[in-house]
Amino acid sequence: MTAHPTSPYFKDNAHEALQDEQLQKALSNVRQGFIDKRAAVAAKLPEFEALRDSARDIKNHTLANLDLYLEAWENKVTDSGGHVHWARTAEEARQAIVDICRKAGAKTVTKGKSMISEEINLNAAIEAAGMTPVETDLGEYIIQLRNEAPSHIIAPAVHLNATQVESDFRRVHTHLDPNRDLSEPVQLLTEARQVLREKFLAADVGITGANFLIAETGTSVIVTNEGNGDLTQILPKIHIVVASLEKLVPTLDDVSQILRVLARSATGQEMSVYTTFSTGPRRPGDVDGPEEYHVVVLDNGRSAMLGTSFQDMLRCIRCGACMNHCPVYHAVGGHAYGWVYPGPMGAVLSPSLIGVDKAGHLPNASTFCGRCESVCPVRIPLPKMMRHWREQEFERHLTPATVRSGLGLWAFFAKRPALYQFASNLGMKAMAWFGRDKGKFKSLPFAGGWTDYRDFPAPQGGTFQEQWKARKGGRA
Amino acid sequence: MSARDEIFASVRRSLGVNGHEMPRREAVRERIAKAPRGIVPERGQLSGEALLTLFEEQALSTLATIDRVKGRDKVPDAIADYLRRSNLPARLRMGADERLAAMPWDKTALEISHGKSDGSDLIAVNHAFAGVAETGTLIITSGPDNPSTLNFLPDYAIVVVDAKDVRGAYEDVWQRLRERDGKGHMPRTVNWITGPSRSGDIEQKLLLGAHGPRSVHIVLVE
């Protein structure tokens, strides 16, 4: 079992999100911040586009040889004194992690930010085993206090405003002076730093994700700005990495290529503050670092994506650029998507992982504007893959009857061009005549989904096909 | 069938791996052995003063601070001066790095202690393995010489880097590390540090000093 999805209720979720004033205010930060920063930093590096090609090619090569790179990586981890645990499912991954924590007699388990740990719903399992999981990334910490899921893969609390964080801190940090000033974001940060510093020092086990696993050296890599991932892994006796199997890259040189596009695409930084390469447990003579190093490798449906039209999705390096640039994400935020991965990448990945029957709405929540693909650092053809899902949904008869019959009607005409031209011409003329006074319609039969929210403009001039003919196919 | 075997079987089945595996194995072995360089940005291919200038500019753009000094003997004075300027106590923690140990600390009034950090140190100094000019990144390898905890627990991190260890691009540093530790071998931790700790998690506002040091001061030794 994975975290319980509300993806089947995407339409309701989206409707609620659009009415949520706090959320809409917070989402304006996404629209303003990420896009400009990425554009500016990409413009500063002439080789950026070529590096995107390079990153794509490295991931493609690795995926085509994934079994061999996994073997090479596993050997290196073992050689350096680490342990590899293989998990077919979320349940197996949770079990492996809980077992390691139990064996260590752990009480407090600190965590760096990891989307895989969200995917396997790890915190609930750690709690059920009688231990306390503590999220240490500031955003993750905030949403843990609120018992929420992340709404963005790199900015988990992007749906919140500072006043909401303040009231959560006052609710939970009851040992602190109730009259303290928390009106500035920096005061919230300082308080979280103090509270979490104690947790870091008390933790028995630290769990991080991995942005990459390197076959050449058996290394796991994390990329953070706060330094919480590092304090999570160097202070406790045990460091557990939880990673899905497509995180593999061949060499240190390869990972350097991808790192050049990761932060630039994600936060618009040239490089994130902390990029940390971890290999095995502490060495003889070391005065700090973990005594045990474990990696739990999760499949959870990914190996079945290889060799299919969804293999390209496994290139994803989780930068978040697709959602940062997505008009649908901008409008409804991440929670509406109803499962771990939001935005365009979630719309493609979620149906693979939890089934198109549950997540079928997500690939439909796209205008196919193509911005996601145009900014993806590994050039994943996201709109094309959403289209694949729509086809599968249709073929498996999961599409609603009204849509199916509408499509059937459209197909009847589309297959008969003369009839199509005649009918569309007639319809257009009729609409133009009925709408001749106001120039728009406030309501239309069968088009409530549109006219409930905005006017429908009355047609002017000829049909598209007439205009196309008149302009000689656009070449005039 | 174990989870491991089943995952490998599933990967191979999906990839359509058949008996003719030799070319694949050869390609993978060669890629790992040769570790071919990809695209190295032009700005990562500078040398001499231009290289150091870029390193300095890039480090400043990450909100680190930097002093350039001529000779290792000047480092303790430069650090004492930095602490005075910043209104910080004259107290430092450091590891067992020989380059640091050989510096004339006794000529300053700095109080020095040695070893990892337990979280009570305000200021620490580590010696970097290398600097990378293309992004102003410091590269520090773990071990008793430069304990990893000193990079993260103190509020103020000071990092000494030799000008001769500054390289244009990350790949140049991997090459040096392979020469030092052997191909395919890594220290427990290699930290790339690019500026002070920060978070944008509250309303996307940039705030320094999230969990790691709120300040990174670089001493570049020529």
Same domain, B199 and B132: yes
- Secondary structure (3-state) at A203: coil
What confidence tier does B115 reach under pLDDT thresholds 50, 70, 90?
very high
Query: Where in the sequence is the domain holding B10, given as residue range(s)?
Result: 1-34
Same domain, B95 and B5: no
Nearest to A257 among B10, B38, B152 (CB): B38
**% chain B with pLDDT above 90:** 95
Same domain, B25 and B88: no
CB pairs under 8 A between A and B: 266
Chain B residues 63-92 within an 8 A CB cutoff of chain A: none
Nearest CA in chain A to B43: A45
First to last CA, chain A: 59
- The predicted pLDDT at position A3 comes to 60
Q: Is residue B39 part of a domain?
A: no
- The predicted pLDDT at position A1 comes to 38
Does B204 contact A29 at a Cβ distance shorter than 8 Å? yes
ipTM of the complex: 0.98
Name the residue among B57, B75, B77 with its Cα closest to residue B65: B57
Rounded to the nearest angstrom, the minimum Cα separation between A277 and chain B is 5
Q: Are A273 and A67 in contact (CB under 8 A)?
A: no
What confidence tier does A424 reach under pLDDT thresholds 50, 70, 90?
confident
List the single range of A379-383, A472-476, B175-179, B191-195 with lowest mean pLDDT. A472-476
Contacts of B174 in chain A (CB under 8 A): 252-253, 256
Same domain, B89 and B195: yes
- Secondary structure (3-state) at B50: helix
The pair of three-digit structure tokens given for residue B45, joined into one six-digit string: 């291919």
Q: How far is CA B173 from the centre of its chain?
A: 10
- A415, pLDDT greater than 70: yes
- A2, pLDDT greater than 50: no
Q: Which residues contact A344 (CB under 8 A, 6 or more apart)?
A: A322, A323, A326, A329, A366, A372, A382, A383, A386
Nearest to B212 among A33, A72, A226 (CB): A226
Does A271 contact B192 at a Cβ distance shorter than 8 Å? yes
Does A225 contact B197 at a Cβ distance shorter than 8 Å? yes
How many other CB atoms are there within 10 angstroms of residue A40's CB atom?
11
Same domain, B14 and B124: no
Mean pLDDT score, A189-217: 97
Rounded to the nearest angstrom, the minimum Cα separation between A101 and chain B is 20
**% chain A with pLDDT above 70:** 99
CATH number for B121? 3.40.50.10420
Number of domains into which chain B is organized: 2
User: Which string of b and e fits A319-349 if b means at least 16 CB within 10 Å?
Assistant: bbbbbbbbebbbebbbbbbbbbbbbbbbbbb
Contacts of A65 in chain B (CB under 8 A): 24, 27-28
Task: Quick: pLDDT tens for A331-362.
Answer: 999 999 999 999 999 999 999 999 999 999 99
Same domain, B170 and B105: yes
Nearest to A275 among B115, B192, B212 (CB): B192
Nearest to A225 among B142, B198, B205 (CB): B198
Question: Residue B151 and residue B216: Cα distance in Å, rounded?
Answer: 9
- The predicted pLDDT at position A451 comes to 86
Same domain, B29 and B91: no
The pair of three-digit structure tokens given for residue A51, joined into one six-digit string: 């590096």
- Secondary structure (3-state) at B166: strand
Q: Which residues contact A101 (CB under 8 A, 6 or more apart)?
A: A109, A126, A129, A131, A204, A205, A238, A240
Q: What is the H or E stretch that residue B199 is in? A: strand B198-199
Q: Which residues pair with A190 in a beta bridge?
A: none
Name the residue among A131, A8, A39, A5 with its Cα closest to residue A324: A39
Nearest CA in chain B to A159: B203
Question: Residue B188 and residue A22: Cα distance in Å, rounded?
Answer: 44
Nearest CA in chain A to B136: A271
C-alpha torsion sign, points A236, A288, A251, B8: negative
Mean pLDDT score, A90-100: 98
Helix B3-15, helix A66-79: angle, nearest 10 = 150
The domain made up of A7-303 is a member of CATH 3.40.50.10420: yes
What confidence tier does A474 reach under pLDDT thresholds 50, 70, 90?
low
How many other CB atoms are there within 10 angstroms of residue B4's CB atom?
16
Q: What is the DSSP letter of A365?
A: S
For chain A, give the number of residues. 476
Same domain, B111 and B197: yes
- Secondary structure (3-state) at A250: coil
Task: Quick: pLDDT tens for B171-198.
Answer: 999 999 999 999 999 999 999 999 999 9
Q: Select from A53, A57, A67, A95 the residue whose CB has the most chain B CBs within 10 Å, as the one to mutate to test that interface.
A: A67
Name the residue among B198, B192, B134, B59 with its Cα closest to residue A228: B198
Nearest to A277 among B118, B184, B190 (CB): B190
Mean pLDDT score, B155-173: 98
* Average pLDDT value over all residues in chain A: 94
Same domain, B95 and B168: yes
Q: Is residue B41 part of a domain?
A: no
Domain range summary for chain A, segments of one domain joined by + = 7-303, 417-470
Q: Select from A62, A86, A142, A230 the residue whose CB has the most chain B CBs within 10 Å, as the one to mutate to test that interface.
A: A230
- The predicted pLDDT at position A205 comes to 98
Task: Quick: pLDDT tens for A288-308.
Answer: 999 999 999 999 999 999 999
**% chain A with pLDDT above 90:** 81
Task: Quick: pLDDT tens for B123-153.
Answer: 999 999 999 999 999 999 999 999 999 999 9
User: Which string of b and e fits A161-181 if b means at least 16 CB within 10 Å?
Assistant: ebebbbebbeeebeeeeeeee
Q: What is the CA radius of gyration of chain A?
A: 25
Contacts of B169 in chain A (CB under 8 A): 256
Task: Answer whether B23 touches A (CB < 8 Å).
Answer: no
Name the residue among B189, B46, B201, B173 with its Cα closest to residue A113: B201
Does A50 contact B115 at a Cβ distance shorter than 8 Å? no
Chain B residues 129-168 within an 8 A CB cutoff of chain A: 134-135, 137, 142-144, 147-149, 151-153
Task: Quick: pLDDT tens for A312-328.
Answer: 999 999 999 999 999 99
Which residue shows structure tokens 């050989």?
B102
What confidence tier does B168 reach under pLDDT thresholds 50, 70, 90?
very high
Q: Select from A213, A288, A308 the residue whose CB has the most chain B CBs within 10 Å, as the one to mutate to test that interface.
A: A288
Q: Are A264 and A38 in contact (CB under 8 A)?
A: yes
Q: Is residue B100 part of a domain?
A: yes
Does B186 contact A219 at a Cβ distance shorter than 8 Å? yes
Contacts of B2 in chain A (CB under 8 A): 86
Q: Is residue B108 part of a domain?
A: yes
- B15, pLDDT greater than 80: yes
Q: What is the DSSP letter of B144?
A: S
Mean pLDDT score, A181-206: 96
Does A256 contact B170 at a Cβ distance shorter than 8 Å? yes
Task: Quick: pLDDT tens for A242-287.
Answer: 999 999 999 999 999 999 999 999 999 999 999 999 999 999 999 9
Contacts of A66 in chain B (CB under 8 A): 11, 15
Rounded to the nearest angstrom, the minimum Cα separation between A319 and chain B is 15
B14 to each of A65, A336, A392, B29, how far by Cα in Å? 11, 32, 19, 21
- A399, pLDDT greater than 90: no
The pair of three-digit structure tokens given for residue A410, joined into one six-digit string: 């459209």
Question: Residue A49 and residue A220: Cα distance in Å, rounded?
Answer: 26
Question: Residue A95 and residue A125: Cα distance in Å, rounded?
Answer: 8
Task: Quick: pLDDT tens for B54-68.
Answer: 999 999 999 999 999
